[in-house]
Homo-oligomer: A and B are copies of this chain.
Amino acid sequence: MLRVAIVGATGYTGCELLDILIGHPEVKITSLTAKLDAPIKIHDEFPRFKGRIDLPCTPLDAGEVARSSDLIFLSLPHGVSMKYAALFLKAGKKVIDLSADFRFADVGVFQQWYGIRHEQTGLLKEAVYGLPELHAERIRTARLIANPGCYPTGSILALAPLVKERVVELDGLVIDSKSGVTGAGRKASLPLSFGECNESFRAYKVGAHQHTPEIESELGILAGHALAIQFTPHLVPMNRGILTTAYARPLKETSTEEIINLYGRFYAKAPFVRVAAKGRLADTKDVWGLNYCDISIVVDNRTHRIVVISAIDNLVKGAAGQAVQNMNLMSGFPETMGLA
């Protein structure tokens, strides 16, 4: 049994990780920590775990976490993760970091968009961007995974085949994305209160969201050169789910069938990408609680544009589920174990 720890267990992502890992047949959860003054039972904070796991959640004692576990999920704020990642790696542990700290090869991009000084630049080269559909081979042998952001997961998977296969103009990609409220984290916040979010739909951080460079970075690698995308996130009055509507111009005339076939080939070995048949459109409801990324395609010959729509559960494929998928690959388990 793989001994795993969750550092930062009381956020939505930590809680989802726990929910998934409880059902994983090859995992033993050995440590849960959070920013606390004193240990609690995890079900004191989340009654849904009562009777399902009987583990205390304690203030973080890095030495203790290292002693008791083989692989550590870090669900910590950006800028805080890097220090602990370094520490656990040094202790010979594997680390899956759910923050943005190791997602950028170019430290300047990270520092510019996050406004945080990077203190572990030596690890950036080793860190692998944990999107298994693109980097499965490197993930298998990685010690440090930078688990992707939620918007980037849905956006990159939506556009990767078009970019990689040179089907579309790379100057002018538009990504209009819509997320449920848990994507903003679990915290006391007036703008995230029910009275402010319910019966409300709004955009935020237009052209300025920190997930923008992450999408650009990965699509840029596929393109072979830097590119800029227009990314607009919106807040949907629902708990979970991200729908991403991406717009691209084909370089030459094509058809919905042709592009669906392209995606089918591109993701032939990806167990968690489901390409919809012609005429079907992705819906966040269909991936609720699941690790799938559903992708649907419409080629609009009237306007000469390809519209790609992807749906994920922001807490599963967009965070905790993808982290477990990465853990499976790193540990030699079947990629779908505990996730199907």
Contacts and interface: CB of A to CB of B under 8 A. Distances in A.
A281 B202 contact: yes
A228 to B, nearest CB: 5
Q: Max chain B CB contacts within 10 Å: which of A12, A178, A204?
A: A178
In the complex, the count of this chain's copies comes to 4
A240 B192 CA distance: 17
A197 interface: yes
B238 A243 contact: no
A239 B193 CA distance: 11
Interface stretch (A43-51, A63-71, A94-102, A121-129): A43-51
Contact of A178 (B207, B234, B284, B305): B234
A282 B228 contact: no
Contacts of A202: 243, 281-285, 311
A187 B178 contact: no
Nearest to A22: B340
Given A189-B193, A228-B302, A300-B230, A243 B307 contact: no
A243 B234 contact: yes
Contact of A51 (B196, B292, B309): B292
A49 to B, nearest CB: 9
A1 interface: no
B276 A309 contact: no
Contact of A195 (B12, B245, B300, B340): B12
B199 A285 contact: yes
Interface residues of A, number: 75
Interface string A261-299: 000000000010010100011111111111010100010
A56 interface: no
Nearest to A284: B201
Contacts of A182: 195
A207 B51 contact: no
Interface in A138-191: 172, 174, 176, 178, 180-182, 186-190
Max chain B C-beta neighbours (<10 A), residue from A46, A188, A280: A188
Interface string A189-217: 11011111111111110110000000000
A241 interface: yes
A125 B284 CA distance: 44
Query: Considering residues A186, A192, A284, which has the most beta carbons from chain B within 10 angstroms of its beta carbon?
Result: A192
A199 B247 contact: no
Interface string A37-78: 000000000111011100000000000000000000000000
Contact of A289 (B239, B280, B289, B305): B289
Contacts of A309: 203, 206
28 contacts: A47-B280, A47-B283, A47-B286, A48-B285, A50-B292, A52-B340, A172-B172, A172-B249, A176-B247, A180-B201, A181-B198, A186-B193, A186-B195, A189-B193, A198-B239, A199-B199, A200-B238, A200-B283, A200-B284, A201-B311, A202-B311, A206-B298, A207-B302, A207-B305, A230-B247, A232-B307, A236-B237, A289-B289
